[in-house]
Amino acid sequence: MLIVTLVAFLAILYGLNVLYRKHQKLGLTVLVALVLGLLFGTTLQSFTEKSFIDTALDWINLVGNGYVRLLQMIVMPLVFVSILSAITKLNQASSLGKISFSVLGVLLVTTAIAAAIGIAMTYIFDLSADGLIVGERELAAQAKVDGRVDQVSHLSVPTILLSFIPKNPFAELTGANPTSIISVVIFSALLGIATLSLRKENEELGNRIAQGVDTLNQLVMRLVRFVIRLTPYGVFALMIKMASTSKWEDIVNLGSFIIASYLAILLMFIVHGVILAFSGINPFNYFKNVLPVLSFAFTSRSSAASIPLNIETQIDKLGNKSVIANFSATFGATIGQNGCAGIYPAMLAVMVAPTVGIDPFTVQYILSLILVVAISSFGIAGVGGGATFAAIVVLSSLNLPLALVGLLISIEPLIDMGRTALNVNGAMVAGTLTNKWLK
């Protein structure tokens, strides 16, 4: 049976390869891979035992996790070299300030909007913390949540900002710290500014440095394109894992929360489209171009691993300038995540508030919650744990109990897929709007 399953898996991989070679459309191939992965994983769970599924997934994960590792491998070199290359092509270093302000502004404003939508969905579906099932997994998850509280209890906005400044850039390039991506951005930006300064004093030397950096950038981008061509196969394998390991009884028990979460995510995608339309950008063309990135983010549940795809799509498909694409993709992976740091903690805060005698739908509470969510989203995803850390920080800031974070652990992977896709889309929207506004 195992051999038959793996042969079928390899046959579909070959079919996806034929499809891509025939049409040369990555987005179409990724969409087909996503659907086939869902069907394959559902079939695997329906007709086989857990021990067999685990054995099959050990082999299938070679493709899925292998693809994610390849993307993680190129994240740091890509961020470092591409930002350095982009800045050396700027005429003025002052452009960086405008780009950073615009990107961060869009991320934080959209996160505040996402929080408001999360609050509205909680009200419409009348969600509360009452009646949630507490099993072994939930109790174990709650113990982990309690352990993580100590890790984030000392966090404040100044502490987070200070952690961005690299004290050992070589360590940051290895991803040694949770905020390493932003630290690498800052280090490469400073090197780029130094190159611009050097060019003013010695134009010939500055041009030689810029030419060398550009050559290295082209080499890294060629590697990125090699890895990105593997996206349909990675998405197919990752989707099989998700579909074959999801517990459908958990999904049914917490169905209202899942539906409310995905409606909030869908509404936020619509908000992104409306903002793009008001800025003179066709939202339909935009979403058609970014579909492969969103598909990968959905299946991998990793904003950081999506950075290479994000940058490549912004530059090649959306026409964004390299420096803007790099800044928005890297900042968006750690700051102002609309799904993980916007919708999710806002919904939890509204559900938990009545347990301590607070009416969550007063104007004062809603405004304070939106403000706390927006501020807390500034870098909170970069400390690891994503939505869990964001929820802990928001609930702790409002002096609310943290039990709900652990009680929803059974459906976390399913909702996290949509949240991650929204996070990545928010980063691309920030880059696209910045590129449009700054011409």
Q: Tell me the C-alpha distance between 287 and 272, whole Å.
A: 10
Q: What pLDDT sits at residue 403?
A: 65
pLDDT computed for residue 250 by the predictor: 59
pLDDT tens, the chain, 439 aa long: 778 888 888 899 899 888 888 887 777 788 888 889 888 888 888 776 777 787 888 888 888 888 888 877 877 887 788 778 777 776 666 677 788 889 889 998 999 999 999 999 999 988 877 655 555 555 455 555 555 555 555 556 576 677 778 888 888 887 777 667 778 878 888 888 888 888 888 888 888 888 888 888 888 878 877 887 888 888 888 888 877 876 666 566 677 888 999 999 999 999 999 999 999 999 999 999 999 899 888 887 778 778 888 988 999 999 998 888 888 888 887 777 898 888 988 998 898 888 888 888 899 889 988 988 887 776 554 444 567 777 777 877 777 777 666 666 656 777 888 988 999 999 999 999 999 998 7
CB 381 within 8 A of CB 335: yes
Kindly give the residue spans of alpha helices, DSSP state H, lying in 321-411: 322-332, 344-352, 363-376, 387-397, 403-407
Smallest Cα–Cα separation from 408: which of 417, 416, 420, 396? 416
Report whether 427 contacts 107 (CB < 8 A).
Answer: yes
| Structure-token pair, residue 418 | 């949509």
CA 189, chain centre distance (Å): 22
The owner of tokens 């040369």 is: 24
pLDDT value of residue 383: 41
What residue segments make up the domains of the chain, in order of their start?
2-437
Alpha helices in 48-154 (DSSP H): 50-88, 94-124, 136-152
Q: Cα–Cα distance between 249 and 243 in angstroms, integer?
A: 13
Phi/psi region, residue 302 (left: phi>0; alpha: psi -120 to 50; beta: rest), is: beta
Cβ neighbors of 148 (< 8 A, separation 6 or more) are 385, 388, 389, 392
Angle at which helix 412-437 crosses helix 387-397, to 10 degrees, equals: 90
Position 425 scores a pLDDT of 95
- Which pLDDT value is given to residue 256? 84
Q: Helices 136-152 and 387-397 meet at what angle, rounded to 10?
A: 70
CATH H-level, domain 2-437: superfamily: Sodium:dicarboxylate symporter (1.10.3860.10)
pTM of the predicted model, to two decimals?
0.76
pLDDT of residue 157: 59
Separation CA 95–CA 334 (nearest Å): 22
